[in-house]
Structure 1
Amino acid sequence: MKDLWAVLARRRDYRLLLSADLISLTGDWVLRTGLAFHVYTLTGSTLASGGLLLASFVPLVVLGSLAGVFVDRWDRRRTMIVVNLLHVLVLLPLLAVRDEGGLWLIYLVVVTQSCLQQFFAPAEQSLVPHLVEPGQLVTANALSSQTNDIARLAGAALGGVLAATGGLPLLALVDAATYALAVLLLLRVRHRAVAVVRQRTSGALRRVKDDWVDGIRICVRSRALRIVFAFGLVTGVGEGAMSTLFAPFVSVELGGDGTAYGLIVSAQAVGGIMGGLVAAAVGGRFAAAKLWGVGAVLFGLVDLALFCYPLFWDGLAPAFALMVIVGLPGAFVVAGSMTVVQRLTDDASRGRVLGALFATEGAAVLVGITASGLLGDVVGIIPVLVAQGVGFTVGGLVVLSRSKVLGRSTAGSTATVSAG
């Protein structure tokens, strides 16, 4: 708990960043949950609802890598503030949606918000190393991952209520208000970036292209980063399969209804909150690569137990328990892997590497969604989900076997921590 207290109590700028992230993420979950409910109410079409997922993923794959180029060129704090302000403006068209004829506006807003997020995410993760001491980075990343679980638990429940009571206008206003409040908190962050001098080439487009190619070259040439990307590809496909087949798994294999599914998913969020707290409290005492590897192995083993127990045991109770338990190793994976990436990259290229990594993981998730949708009916739900658990377990073993390589920091990557 000493490490946790040191970060929360003594790092003012990080505390402001964490609070802003929690507030805006809660608004995102409010809108995400409410939109799914509202679109299905308007259209009665599961295809229309599924289109929301596609609209949010395509910009990640197409824009993620390129966005990192600009993140490395811009002040990260200012980028986050501007992106949040644009989010407020982008949400306003939702106030005009009254019937199914406004469905195109909903999709346009979702696509635009996803485009903006491709600049926000790498900017945020690139800024974190500047706000804490190097030895506090695992704790800070564990706390950052925990905020998403807290936001999901609170925002998903609130989104359903607001969608039923106030409709789409209320959802848009609440989400916009969370972004505005996040901006106020980010404006109080004292850290300012040091200007980076870059050699100029002929033309803005040429400079962007050169930086983008340079970012890809960094990812390809680094042995450690190749391991990071391979892990992201394998586990991303598994996560896509999980998102597609988990509801059928609960229904067909466990015999649960919609209420049971919702409670099991909520149990995962509860486990993630508890796991994030544990990871934040003790994670700083372990090497980030080992924390990541052990977390991935345990995550895979718990998933395998979850997916296989219906073959031998009837009932929902083990599913609830295992979904809570998996939160702990899941938090270790997120905190450890992000810390490794932050330490492997220097500040001038961190945004490009993170952007490329997020895009790669997004593409892998789309592959997993497509493949599992086709294979689920052919080979069965459980065999496909078992492959997800195996992917995490094997990936974790590879990370552990390469922990020395992954534990090396790039020269000059240690950031200067702002006062307070």
Structure 2
Amino acid sequence: MNTFRGSGLLRNRDFSLLLSSQLISAIGDQAQFMALPLVVVALTGSATQAGFVLGLGTVSFLVFGLVAGVLVDRWDRKTIMMWCEAGRTLLTVGVVVADWLDRLTMPQLYATAVLAGILGTLFQVANTSALPNVVDAQQLPTALGYQQSAGSAVSILGAPLAGALYAVGRVVPFAVNAVSFAVSAVSLRMMHARFQTERQEIRARARITTEIREGVGWLWREPVVRFLTLVTAADKIRYGAGYLLIITLAQQLGSSPLWIGVVFGGAAVGAMAGALVSNRATRRFPLGHIAVVMLWLEAVMFPLYALAPSPLLLAVVAAGESLVAPVYAVAMTAHQLSITPDELRGRVTSAVSTLTTGALSIGTLAGGALIGALGAKPLVWLCGAWLLALALLTTANRAVRHAPRAGVISRAEGADAHQTATLTS
């Protein structure tokens, strides 16, 4: 493993290959995600069907996420990731070929959404679990910051690119995504780093449910990670409801689809700015302080959506509210990965992701109903009160307030965590 500081991390060949492959793949994913509902509407004329197909990917994660964590801890992570990319290449090529032959059907799109969701879940869990083995422990926040910045850049540029590709042909985004998956697989094959540590002892495989309980049990015994995971899930409920809420507020102000895009572009710009300073912030400030600041900023900023008199000011609010979230994401993920024993990383990562993704889905589903029952602006104030409660609870939590800076975990502490996990599993 190469160890560099600051921007020198990009001289780590393995990390550069991993980051570039993720960036290329994310661009393809964004293009396909934007094109998929348009293809479904073109085939069926039904927006409901389009929403159903998009939802299948989330359902796949919720159903398969915990099992994916077990498989990532059992099997070779690099091999998993390469096969996932190969499988997603075949699925997207299949859509392109079927459309070219004029035989594209809804059952094929359903199957593609489900299978791609399963493979994507495996890939994401394996990728997150492997990162501490690709970069030095002290460089983990930096690496996560680069990934956050790349993701934010894709969010800003992805939608216009998707529209341009769809204008060329309705399955062109799928073809681009297929190429991106293939490039990602080749990049992974070129990497030399091992994606997990050598196991010191080989034990008989337990039942999948037993191994899932080991990961969830370890997570539950870590007070800081446990509390912040629950708070993040609670915040995701608000975030899921907020997406449709902001669209509704923008429409009430007479915003065109272009201006609605500007509003969410403001959020992406704010997230990009946060991602760019995430490395410096996570090295300077403790995790608990970052969590408290993020929640208080959200609690103060979110009610301003109800007061913004124009789409431009909605975009400004969105940018401000999104500023600290990437810093928190880097700090929280770095802390979790640093203290989790390698043989449990897949299961712990999948447990956290399943909980937060489930909460996001609940918020998305509840958002429309709550807007209909309460109205858009009253729901803004309700979400603001929700965020205020989360900020107060987090500020009052002593363990969170004393949490260290992200990645500041000594080798001795890591060994203690490993021994504790072994004795209690």
| 1:72–1:348 contact (8 Å) kept in structure 2 | yes
3-state secondary structure, aligned to 2:343: coil
Structure 2 counterpart of 1:272: 271
| Structure 1, unaligned runs of 5 or more | 416-420
| 1:37–1:160 contact (8 Å) kept in structure 2 | no
Indicate whether 1:321 and 2:316 are aligned. yes
Kindly provide the amino acid, as one letter, of the partner of residue 309 in structure 1: L
Distance 1:101 1:183, change over 3 A: closer
Structure 2 counterpart of 1:19: 20
Structure 2 counterpart of 1:135: 138
Q: Measure how far apart 1:198 and its partner are.
A: 5.4
| 1:343–1:413 contact (8 Å) kept in structure 2 | no
Distance 1:108 1:66, change over 3 A: same
Q: Deviations over 1:218-266 (max 9, x none)?
A: 22333223203311320121121023322112112x3312111011112
Distance 1:113 1:406, change over 3 A: farther
Indicate whether 1:67 and 2:68 are aligned. yes
Distance 1:176 1:262, change over 3 A: same
Structure 2 counterpart of 1:225: 225
Structure 2 counterpart of 1:331: 326
Alignment partners' CA distance in 2, 1:94 and 1:301: 45
Alignment partners' CA distance in 1, 2:202 and 2:384: 46
Indicate whether 1:174 and 2:176 are aligned. yes
Structure 2 counterpart of 1:374: 369
| 2:288–2:402 contact (8 Å) kept in structure 1 | no
Distance 1:129 1:101, change over 3 A: closer
Structure 2 counterpart of 1:418: none
> Counterparts of 1:71-220 in structure 2 under 5 Å?
71-95=72-96, 96-97=98-99, 102-168=105-171, 170-192=172-194, 193-197=196-200, 200-201=203-204, 206-220=206-220
Alignment partners' CA distance in 2, 1:266 and 1:384: 22
| 1:289–1:336 contact (8 Å) kept in structure 2 | no
Q: How many residues align?
A: 404
Structure 1 counterpart of 2:236: 236
| Structure 2, unaligned runs of 5 or more | 419-425
3-state secondary structure, aligned to 1:412: helix
Distance 1:121 1:296, change over 3 A: farther
Alignment partners' CA distance in 2, 1:414 and 1:220: 13
Structure 2 counterpart of 1:40: 41
| 2:263–2:312 contact (8 Å) kept in structure 1 | no
Q: Measure how far apart 1:405 and its partner are.
A: 5.8
Q: Measure how far apart 1:90 and its partner are.
A: 1.6
Kindly provide the amino acid, as one letter, of the partner of residue 122 in structure 1: V
Structure 1 counterpart of 2:54: 53
Q: Measure how far apart 1:353 and its partner are.
A: 0.8
Distance 1:63 1:413, change over 3 A: farther
Identity among equivalent positions (%) equals 25
Alignment partners' CA distance in 2, 1:21 and 1:414: 30
Q: CA RMSD in A?
A: 2.5
Larger relative contact order (Cα-Cα within 8 Å, sequence gap ≥ 6): 1
> Counterparts of 1:300-311 in structure 2 under 5 Å?
300-305=299-304, 307-310=305-308
| 1:4–1:139 contact (8 Å) kept in structure 2 | yes
